[in-house]
Amino acid sequence: MKNKYHENLATPYWLLDEKKLKKNLSLISDIREKSSAKILLALKGYALWKSFPLLQDALNGCCASGLHEAKLAHETFGQEVHTYSPAFKEEELEEIASISHHLVFNSPAQFKRFAAKAKAFNPLLSIGLRVNPEYSEAPKEIYNPCGLNSRLGTTLLNFDESILDACDGLHFHALCEQSSDALENVLKHFEEKFGKYIPQMKWINFGGGHHITREGYDVEKLIRLIKEFKAKYNVEVYLEPGEAIGWETGTLVTSVLDIVHNGMDIAILDSSAEAHMPDTIIMPYRAEVEGAGKVGEKAHTYRLAGNTCLAGDIMGDYSFDTPLTIGDKVVFEDQMHYTMVKATTFNGIKLPSIVVKKEDGSVEVLREFGYEDFRDRLS
C-alpha cells in the first residue's frame, strides 16, 4: 500500500477518482436517454461542487433540501433546481423560490401557506407535494421515510384535495440503496393510493435511493418501469439519486499514528469514524479497507479506530497480510457519498483534504482544511 499513494500528500484526504465518476455518469446518461426520465443529483449525498463540470452533461440539475443546497445548486451546477424541505421558513421563501424550478412542499398546510406566495416571487415555479406511499423496503428504520409516525410526506389520510388546482406534481421518496424491484413495489402502493390524482399532474418525482450504479442493479427494469409509467399517465418522470452518483468513486486515505494493545491490537488513525465517516456508526456499515480482510482472515488483525476521545470512534476490525507499522496508509473504499457532506470538526480533528485523481493519472489537491475551519464554526 505504501507506494501506491502519493507519499507527499498529507493524510487524511478524500481521493475522488474521475475515471470512476465518469463511468457512473455514463450509465446515468444512458438511462436518461433510454427512459426519457429527467435525473437530478441529490446534494444531500454528494456535493463536491468542484467536480460538477464533469456531472453537468449527464444530469438535468440538482435536488436541494433547503436554502443552502438550493444556492449551491444555482451557483455551481445550473440547470434545474428542485427544492424540497420538510418545512420551509417564511423568511427564506423568496430566495428559494427565485432560484428554484420546482418547489415541493411536505404538507398541505405548508402548501396552502406558501404556494401562492412562492409563485408570486417566481411565476415560472412548478409546485408539488411530497406524498408518503406508506410502503418501503428500506433496510433500517433511520432510513425509512415511510416508517411509523414518519414526518416525511403526506399520507393519503392527510391529503387535502383543495391544493390540487395549484399542484403540478407529486413526489415520493421511499427507497434507500435499493433495487428496481423495490421501486416496482413502491410504485404499486403509490399508484394504489394516489393514482387518481396522477392524470392531472405534469410530473411525478420518484425520489432517490435507486442504487443504479451498484453491480447487479437491474437497469433495464428501471428503464421499463419509467417508460411504462410515462406512457400510462403522460407525465414527466424525475429521479434524484445521490449515493448512486458517488458510489465507489473514491477513497478516504488515512495514516497509522500509533498501535496500542488491550486484549487485541488497535491502530489509531489520523481520521475519525465519528467525524469523517459517520454512517459507519449510524447505519452502521463496515467500509471495505484496501488489502484487508475480515477478522482472522489474514495473519494480522487490528481494530481500526479514530483519533478522538470518543470511545466508540471505531471503524471496525480488519486483518492484514503484514503487520501494520506507524506511518502506513490505511485506505477506506467507497467514501465519496455521505462523508464530506456530513463531516465535522468534532474534538478539533482536522477535516480530510479533498483531492482529485484526474483521468490522466495526475493528482490535484482541491481543498485543505486547518485550525481556522474548526475555529470559525464556533464562537
Ligand X SMILES: *Cc1c(COP(=O)(O)O)cnc(C)c1O
Chain positions contacting ligand X, by CB under 6 A: 42, 44-45, 63, 84, 173, 176, 207-209, 240-244
HSE (CB half, 13 Å, CA atoms) of 37? 25
Q: Which is nearer to ligand X, 243 or 313 (CB)?
A: 243
What is the total residue count of the chain?
A: 379
- Nearest 5°: CA angle at 31, between 25 and 37? 115
Measured in degrees and rounded to the nearest 5, phi and psi for residue 106 equal -95, -25
**Cα 79 from Cα 77, distance rounded (Å):** 7
Residue 159 C-beta: closest distance to ligand X, Å? 18
Positions of E strands within the chain: 13-17, 38-42, 61-64, 80-84, 102-105, 126-130, 169-171, 203-205, 236-239, 250-261, 265-269, 300-305, 314-320, 329-332, 353-357, 363-367
Q: Which is nearer to ligand X, 43 or 351 (CB)?
A: 43
Q: Which is nearer to ligand X, 61 or 241 (CB)?
A: 241
- Nearest 5°: CA angle at 173, between 45 and 214? 55
Q: Which is nearer to ligand X, 208 or 250 (CB)?
A: 208
Residue 363 C-beta: closest distance to ligand X, Å? 27
Residue 41 C-beta: closest distance to ligand X, Å? 9
Residue 176 C-beta: closest distance to ligand X, Å? 5
Residue 92 C-beta: closest distance to ligand X, Å? 18
**Cα 12 from Cα 352, distance rounded (Å):** 5
Measured in degrees and rounded to the nearest 5, phi and psi for residue 124 equal -85, -5
- Retrieve residue 38's grid coordinates: 429527467
Residue 172 C-beta: closest distance to ligand X, Å? 9
Q: Which is nearer to ligand X, 61 or 242 (CB)?
A: 242
**H/E element, 188:** helix 180-194
**H/E element, 276:** helix 273-276
Residue 209 C-beta: closest distance to ligand X, Å? 4
Q: Which is nearer to ligand X, 45 or 108 (CB)?
A: 45
HSE (CB half, 13 Å, CA atoms) of 259? 14
Residue 146 C-beta: closest distance to ligand X, Å? 12
Measured in degrees and rounded to the nearest 5, phi and psi for residue 367 equal -160, 135
Residue 73 C-beta: closest distance to ligand X, Å? 13
Q: Which is nearer to ligand X, 41 or 253 (CB)?
A: 41
**Cα 218 from Cα 237, distance rounded (Å):** 18
Q: Which is nearer to ligand X, 214 or 230 (CB)?
A: 214
Residue with the shortest CB distance to ligand X: 208
HSE (CB half, 13 Å, CA atoms) of 314? 9
Q: Give 227-234's long-range contacts (Cβ < 8 A, gap of 24+).
A: 227/35, 227/36, 229/187, 229/204, 230/35, 230/36, 230/37, 233/198, 233/199, 233/201, 233/204, 234/199
Residue 242 C-beta: closest distance to ligand X, Å? 3
Q: Which is nearer to ligand X, 320 or 338 (CB)?
A: 338
Q: Which is nearer to ligand X, 83 or 307 (CB)?
A: 83
Residue 33: burial class (beta carbons within 10 Å; 0-12, 13-18, 19+): exposed
